Amino acid sequence: MRLAFETWGRLAPDRSNAVLVLHALTGDSHVAGPAGPGHPTPGWWDGLVGPGLALDTDRWFVVAPNVLGGCQGSTGPSSPRPGGPYWGGDFPFLTQRDQVAAEAGLADALGIDRWALIVGGSMGGMRALEWAVSYPERTDALLLLATTAAASAEQIAWAGVQLHAVRSDPHWHGGHYHDTGRGPHAGLGLARRIAHVTYRSEPELQLRFGREPQGTEDPWHGGRYQVESYLDHHAAKLVRRFDAGSYVVLSEAMNNHDIGRGRGGVRAALRRVTARTLVAGVGSDRLYPPSQQAELAAGIASADHLRLIDSPYGHDGFLIEVEQVAALVGELVHRDSSPPAPEPRRHRPLP
């Protein structure tokens, strides 16, 4: 296997300034920077990593891997298998622990024995938590955003519907479509539409779109509402840049997430965490509700009280509200050298 990754800044001679940033389901290693070769979209946390920013690259060596099973350079279903065709539907089932074990191999290859900070939200938060439980001796500080100790029945159900949409596409071919010239684009697009509704809040969708038609289209005669056009747009964007096989593999890994499996349950597992920890949820998140982050904050002895990112955007708030996330990062990276950063600000009005 191989892992693609990006780095920013320089590793200190004593290797004490390494920060690991872990992406969510359809993210990649391109945390910061413009779109370009190998990176179809700009950095997804562009305002967080760079000189003078919360993760100041004049001070920190920031590492962001593309998750094992992904499709932006790391080995996944769309990768050729040794001596044969694409992995496709034969790609093995992965757990978050498998993916973190691969990332530990990357850390070894880079000569990093201990991370000064690990940051992750949503699926990235699952892996960040797994790092702190599997490798407490290698995790100094931890920021968990909009994530959970174990996938809930509702989260599994939402992902299950999306998996069914992909697998029901006639071009799925059991995952062996990579050399057919046409993939399960309709199924992946439908899965993205379903997912995107759960990523946003109902009040935001209502305020932005209401019942307005899309341009001159007439919903009474086969036309679309604005909110339907919005979902179509996000579906088309994902289909252009993401592999359906990776979507399936990573969604299954998220459904399988249970930090307590084989460890005596969630509470026992969380007691393994020794890293200085902040846990934050998004107040309007209906997919990963703050009650799940409250369980994490209560179960991790080294955690501060639960923080809430105040945002109207739902689950996506941990990606959109960069200033609030930056304040949380600042609390962790400056805790030993300067007063804590201000509390996350109140959210701005919707555009």
Residues assigned a catalytic role:
122, 285, 315
Place of tokens 């790391």: 74
Q: Report residue 286: phi and psi, to 5°.
A: -100, -10
Q: Are strands 117-121 and 276-282 parallel, antiparallel or unpaired?
A: unpaired
User: Structure tokens of 120?
Assistant: 């992750």
Which letter does DSSP use for residue 135 in this model? -
Q: Which residues, in sequence order, are CB contacts of 55 under 8 Å at separation 6+?
A: 8, 19, 21, 48, 49, 62, 119, 329, 333
Measure the CA–CA gap between 142 and 337, rounded to whole angstroms.
17
Q: Is 192 annotated as contributing to ligand binding?
A: yes
Q: Which residues, in sequence order, are CB contacts of 224 under 8 Å at separation 6+?
A: 213, 214, 217, 232
Write out the E strands in 129-188: 141-145
Q: Which residues, in sequence order, are CB contacts of 343 under 8 Å at separation 6+?
A: 327
Which letter does DSSP use for residue 138 in this model? G
CA torsion angle 22 26 27 29 (round to 10): 80
Pair 311, 347: CB distance under 8 Å: yes
Q: Which residues, in sequence order, are CB contacts of 177 under 8 Å at separation 6+?
A: 88, 171, 183, 184, 244, 245
Burial class (CB in 10 A: 0-12, 13-18, 19+), 350: exposed
The residue among 3, 193, 202, 162 whose CA lies nearest residue 98 is 3
Q: Is 316 annotated as contributing to ligand binding?
A: yes
The SS3 assignment for 3 reads: coil
Q: Report residue 203: phi and psi, to 5°.
A: -60, -40
Residue numbers belonging to the annotated binding site for substrate: 192, 316
